[in-house]
Amino acid sequence: MDRLEFLRTKIEKKELPTYVYGYPSKRAYRAFPQPLRITDVVEQANRSKQINIYIHIPFCRYRCTYCTLFLTTRNRAATQEAYVGRLVEHIARYGEYLGDREVVSIYFGGGTPTLLTQHQFGALFAVLDVAFPKRNRRCEITVEAAPDCFDNSLLDCLKTLGVNRMSMGIQSMVPGELAHSGRPYSIEIANAAIEALIERFSHVNLDLIYGLRGQTRNSWIFSLGRALDYEPQTISLYPVVVRPMTNVATSKRLNPELFFSEAEKYEVYDQNVALMASKGYRQESFIRFTRITGDHAYRQEVSDFEGTPLLGLGAGARSYLGQYHYSTDYAVDWKVASRIINAFSDRPFDPKAIASHGIKLMPDDLARRYVLLGLTLSVLSRKNYAAIFGRTLTDDFGEELKALESLQLINLADGDVCQLTQEGFKYSSILARMFYSNTMVTLEEQCQVA
């Protein structure tokens, strides 16, 4: 199918594929023939004097009915302590090889990182300060939170440690929708949690999900309105992704009438875009809207796109170091996830075997990744592409750009940056998939993990 046909067919059918955050996804990762050595990745990272750090905290109090992230809800106290101990060792050891880089961003993602104790956060920041002492003046330090998984003294502690951005899942402000999502707290708790964050941090992101069981157009607008009342700096609006093997998938099979269709999700999306603009928010991607003018509100994402290596630490964290993308193995099933997490905690850092699972990207894949991420963030510059890849964007992706332009999904009037039009943002999950190589499509399709 040619490019234009590909886009046209999917848009006409109102397909809404899962939002693309990276290329390729973990589903394309496989066991390496030999484990990666630290020297392999340091060689790749040498092309940049900067670094981004992602620290994965795979613990939650409960599993939400829609969520397939890599985490465990079992054995928390002892498991967490062992896990943090191993993370401290990893940070110190990676610092020996990469600690001379300037740190652009540090992101504690999950799971629910605010389940860590103050003492555990203290230990992680202490080792980060020693192992990675050079910080960019505007280093972005983010921690993810859930409304019922912190108290105010933890927030004060995080602020003292230098955290300057908090990101919290709200999902819905309607009690029944929260209950169906498996989130066992009241709306009062959610409100108090938002207030506590807004009071302390200048940058707060709130996540909401549309398409939850029982949600209506009105109840969605009600939830979004309550979140907007707090005027957070960023709001991320996710259409629900119903993955096989989740409770929400079973629920949808039994009661499809309680869920939005893909076409309805697109209608809600249009309504969101109009509402967010009327409230003074700028659209940065399919899901993210920000009040901040100037720079993008999520520095780690943009810095990764610009080519700064991302060092992922912990079980399930992804690392993007030049041609090497890797992580530990991962799983959704709690028994397998717990086994992988415990294996991480049990195994000392080994510079000769830092990862056994991932992919080595070829130059063609790196170019595809650059274009795909640049387009979905609406920051793809022709000049930068030519400087990095030594060829013009038109040489490599002329047919794709032409198709995007003819459907008015991008605007090339700027002469350098390929900007997404309003329709371009709307269909960015579709247009991203046009840049997948056949090999990546096959690898991802063959993946057995839910």
Ligand X SMILES: C[S@@+](CC[C@H](N)C(=O)[O-])C[C@H]1O[C@@H](n2cnc3c(N)ncnc32)[C@H](O)[C@@H]1O
x/- binding map, residues 108-147, to ligand X, per CB under 6 A?
--x-x-------------------------------x-x-
Q: Which residues pair with 419 in a beta bridge?
A: 411
The interface with ligand X within residues 64-83 (CB under 6 A) comprises: 66-67, 69
Query: Which amino acid does the sequence have at 424?
Result: G
Residue 357 binds what, of ligand X, ligand SF4, none (CB under 5 to 8 Å, by partner type)?
none
Contact 183, 112 (CB under 8 A): no
x/- binding map, residues 174-203, to ligand X, per CB under 6 A?
------------------------------
Q: Cβ closer to ligand X: 110 or 424?
A: 110
Kindly give the interhelix angle for 334-346 and 76-98, rounded to the nearest 10 degrees.
50
Residue 311 binds what, of ligand X, ligand SF4, none (CB under 5 to 8 Å, by partner type)?
none
- The closest of 7, 25, 19, 49 to 441, measured between CA atoms, is 25
Residue 63 binds what, of ligand X, ligand SF4, none (CB under 5 to 8 Å, by partner type)?
ligand SF4
| 169 contacts ligand SF4 (rule: CB under 6 A) | yes
Token pair 């860590």 is at which residue?
Answer: 116
| 434 contacts ligand SF4 (rule: CB under 6 A) | no
The interface with ligand X within residues 230-269 (CB under 6 A) comprises: 238, 240-241
SS (H, E, C) 25-88: CHHHCEEEEEEECHHHHHHHHCCCCEEEEEEEECECCCCCCCCCCCCECCCHHHHHHHHHHHHH
**CB 204 → ligand X: shortest distance, Å?**
13
| 239 contacts ligand SF4 (rule: CB under 6 A) | no
In a 13 Å sphere around the CA of 250, the CA atoms on its Cβ side amount to 6
Instruction: Find the part of the chain contacting ligand SF4 (CB under 6 A) among 63-71, 127-135, 281-289, 344-352.
Output: 63-71
Cα 409 to Cα 426: distance, rounded to the nearest angstrom: 9
Cα 143 to Cα 205: distance, rounded to the nearest angstrom: 10
CA dihedral 168, 169, 171, 175 (to 10 degrees): -90
| 430 contacts ligand SF4 (rule: CB under 6 A) | no
| 64 contacts ligand SF4 (rule: CB under 6 A) | yes
Q: Cβ closer to ligand X: 145 or 404?
A: 145
Beta-carbon contacts of 249 under 8 Å, excluding residues fewer than 6 positions away, are 242, 243
Select the residue interacting with ligand SF4 from 110, 211, 309, 316 (CB under 6 A).
Answer: 110
Instruction: Find the part of the chain contacting ligand SF4 (CB under 6 A) among 67-75, 347-355, 394-402, 416-424.
Output: 67-75
User: What are the Cα distances from residue 242, in Å, to 68, 196, 199, 235, 249?
Assistant: 9, 31, 34, 21, 6
Residue 240 binds what, of ligand SF4, ligand X, none (CB under 5 to 8 Å, by partner type)?
ligand X
Q: Cβ closer to ligand X: 168 or 332?
A: 168
**CB 383 → ligand X: shortest distance, Å?**
34
| 209 contacts ligand X (rule: CB under 6 A) | yes
Cα 329 to Cα 339: distance, rounded to the nearest angstrom: 10
Cα 228 to Cα 8: distance, rounded to the nearest angstrom: 34
Using CB under 6 A, list all residues that contact ligand X: 66-67, 69, 110, 112, 144, 146, 168-169, 171, 207, 209, 238, 240-241
Using CB under 6 A, list all residues that contact ligand SF4: 60, 63-64, 67, 69, 71, 110-112, 146, 169
